[in-house]
Structure 1
């Protein structure tokens, strides 16, 4: 009997008090929706629902991709796609074109992962293999910043103010 591998994404709690996932951004249309003017406007009769899918965390995918550095891209890609709901999140980390390569990618408010690309030998490689968590600096004092799942070792440096 073959065991099915775990998916490379997980659902996050979207019902907890205070957890906001971008809901409530209806913009100007949300204020005009049920007015007398809007009733005569056919464009206002459409759906207010966007195409966002809230509540999915792709951290397991990003860790999977990092664990496959140096391996054949075709086999890594086919395994990842088989364990995902869509292939789009793969390309948050993996750059297909030279101009899209980044040393690191911000995946959350304070979460960063190494950027990846496929080299000429069809291997998955790091954009900047010398970049480590020790070289990363947090940009604010209030968050716990992580790089590839590890906490930043440097602390936030407060800006020096010049007083007369």
Structure 2
């Protein structure tokens, strides 16, 4: 149990709003009551999906970025004590050289610096020089962030005037 003074490193988000989808919906209705389904052992298993919805780990990612240069064992023990499960830590932190990534996508519009544990056991950024200015904008429609800072959008494409597209020589006011 964590001390009362330490806040958890995750927060609950609303998943009951209109338009929120949670993975595969409705596929089972086409398989139900078939002979193959009745013979399968999976029908006798748990009815829980083992998927977790409605948790935002942004506080964890900010915590990990603030602990760059600190001993990994201390950082992990503190983070693990303030989480519901340890898995989200390893979305961002690589323990092996082969798992290192310069940046990690944690949400549809959120990117964070990739972290790794060096030979001395210290938490480090994979690429310390990577800043929002170095990031490319992946989609034109959305606002994207890198370590909580908004990317600079590419300049909007110049549109043709309506009159020019209709074949008129001049635009009248």
- Tell me whether the two structures share a fold, i.e. TM-score over 0.5: yes
- Structure exhibiting the larger radius of gyration computed from Cα positions: 2
Where structure 1 has 5 or more consecutive residues not aligned to the other structure, the ranges are: 159-164
Contact 2:109 2:145 in 1 (8 A): yes
* TM-score normalised by the chain length of structure 2: 0.80
TM-score normalised by length of structure 1: 0.84
Q: For the Cα contact (< 8 Å) 2:140–2:153, is it kept in 1?
A: no
1:161 corresponding residue in structure 2: none
Q: 1:94 to 1:156 in 2, by over 3 A?
A: farther
Report if the CA contact (8 A) 1:8-1:83 is conserved.
yes
1:142–1:154 CA distance, 2 compared to 1 (3 A):
closer
What is the rounded CA distance, in whole Å, between the counterparts of 1:100 and 1:156 in structure 2?
34
More off after superposition, 87-96 vs 38-47: 38-47
Query: Contact conserved, 2:92 with 2:115, CA < 8 A, in 1?
Result: yes
Partner of residue 19, structure 1? 20
Alignment gaps of 5+ in structure 2? 158-173
1:45 and 2:43 aligned: yes
Q: Is the 8 A contact 1:69 1:124 kept in 2?
A: yes
